[in-house]
Structure 1
């Protein structure tokens, strides 16, 4: 089967900008839809009866915001999420997302390695399609732990530290990091060429007209589902 067309970093950034201008979406809406897709992918991989303990690692940008939203939905789905969010910002949106989790008594931890030992799955919401450059503290140790962990990982949009166009880094903590699963938001990114696990696409809100403009494919969502499982490299199943 033919693979879904990928969406490069420049096109993904331009698409986000257009969604929030002529598309009339707010950043809150986009983050809510992305986070719901992540939570649904986690449920498809392993329901809470099988794997209740989920460690959600969040970075300081929009990918981390998606993780915060996903954790709220996971709580309501019946999971017991724990948050690792070491680079909290003063951004009002993120403050509200954190407060929502605190009101649900979702715990936050500063000890990623310790929390990982008691987890059934880890969600990697550290870096997304806009990541470039050097991985800065405290994340090198976290990504090294993800690479070495026997606990399965669901990566959000990109395995953290991977280059969106060229895949895993040639050296550094993410060199051997291959998560068990990936959820591509809106469309797969070119890095899926190097991915080999279970792969979902989420983001059921883009018009066909906009997909045609940015040259990517809207997958065949079914019923009320916000995700579609595809092949590792984006092949239609």
Structure 2
């Protein structure tokens, strides 16, 4: 099944509608997105093969998805380590952090040391709404992801990429192209520049809303929250 992409304005409007007419809370959306991320990680490499996963989280909703994913990964048998240097102002981020601390999931401020001990890295720093300049402390982190020999799995967008224009022409993300990507709800136009394994997740759209935003809902199987969709089958 070929899937259409969704642009920045439509993606932002969809989020707003889900939390108004759709009656979802931000907690629910993060929980479903984070569960999808964790399931895709399991598909990529189960904990018996790659137990040590470094989860890099930004201060926004993308970071919240990463915090939720880490909790599920813990229960799946992984040993996640969190890099979360800038906590967002919304109280939900504090609650998600507390949940991980209660599970004794460690947090680190030393990204370079943590990545050296990891089997995979989840990039949940910036999502589809990112624009402008990458600010501290993230330039060095994104540069490390670009240069990493450890495989990287990006949530919704490789951090520093533009939703429509793809990777930046210069700066820390210029040569960054992760090994895997999960598109939440629908692929974004940036997948045109992506070269790795591609998943679609966040299984919560009703058909009426999907039709309104021209979203092709993939054929999920059973209880799966993700579907692997090669970029070659996305309508760019």
**TM > 0.5 fold call:** yes
> Which residue pairs with 1:209 in the alignment?
208
- 1:80-159 equivalences under 5 Å are 80-159=79-158
> Which residue pairs with 2:69 in the alignment?
70
* Contact 2:4/2:234 (<8 A) preserved: no
Secondary structure of the equivalent of 2:162? Answer: coil
Cα deviation for residue 92 of structure 1 reads: 1.2
Unaligned runs of 5+ in 1: none
* Contact 1:195/1:233 (<8 A) preserved: no
1:1-59 per-position Cα deviation (integer Å, ceiling 9, x unaligned): x6310011110100000000000000000000000000000000000000000000000
Q: Is residue 41 from structure 1 mapped to residue 55 from structure 2 by the alignment? A: no
* Contact 1:167/1:193 (<8 A) preserved: yes
Change (3 A) 1:110 1:234: farther
Cα deviation for residue 88 of structure 1 reads: 1.3
* Contact 1:196/1:233 (<8 A) preserved: no
Secondary structure of the equivalent of 2:217? Answer: coil
Cα deviation for residue 209 of structure 1 reads: 1.1
1:138-169 per-position Cα deviation (integer Å, ceiling 9, x unaligned): 00000000000000000000000000001000
The whole-number CA distance in structure 2 between the counterparts of 1:69 and 1:203 is: 13
- 1:145-224 equivalences under 5 Å are 145-224=144-223
Cα deviation for residue 234 of structure 1 reads: 4.6
* Contact 1:58/1:65 (<8 A) preserved: yes
The whole-number CA distance in structure 1 between the counterparts of 2:129 and 2:51 is: 30
Cα deviation for residue 235 of structure 1 reads: 3.8
Structure 1's consecutive aligned runs of 4 or more residues displaced over 3 angstroms after TM superposition are 233-236
TM-score by length of 1: 0.97
* Contact 1:192/1:233 (<8 A) preserved: no
Cα deviation for residue 115 of structure 1 reads: 0.1
Q: Is residue 14 from structure 1 mapped to residue 16 from structure 2 by the alignment? A: no
For the aligned residues, what is the CA RMSD?
Answer: 1.1
* Contact 2:201/2:227 (<8 A) preserved: yes
Cα deviation for residue 233 of structure 1 reads: 4.4
* Contact 1:82/1:107 (<8 A) preserved: yes
The whole-number CA distance in structure 1 between the counterparts of 2:232 and 2:66 is: 23
The whole-number CA distance in structure 1 between the counterparts of 2:233 and 2:137 is: 32
TM-score by length of 2: 0.98
1:153-198 per-position Cα deviation (integer Å, ceiling 9, x unaligned): 0000000000000100000010000000000000000000001100
Cα deviation for residue 200 of structure 1 reads: 0.3
1:126-145 per-position Cα deviation (integer Å, ceiling 9, x unaligned): 00011000000000000000
Cα deviation for residue 89 of structure 1 reads: 3.0
Aligned residues: 235
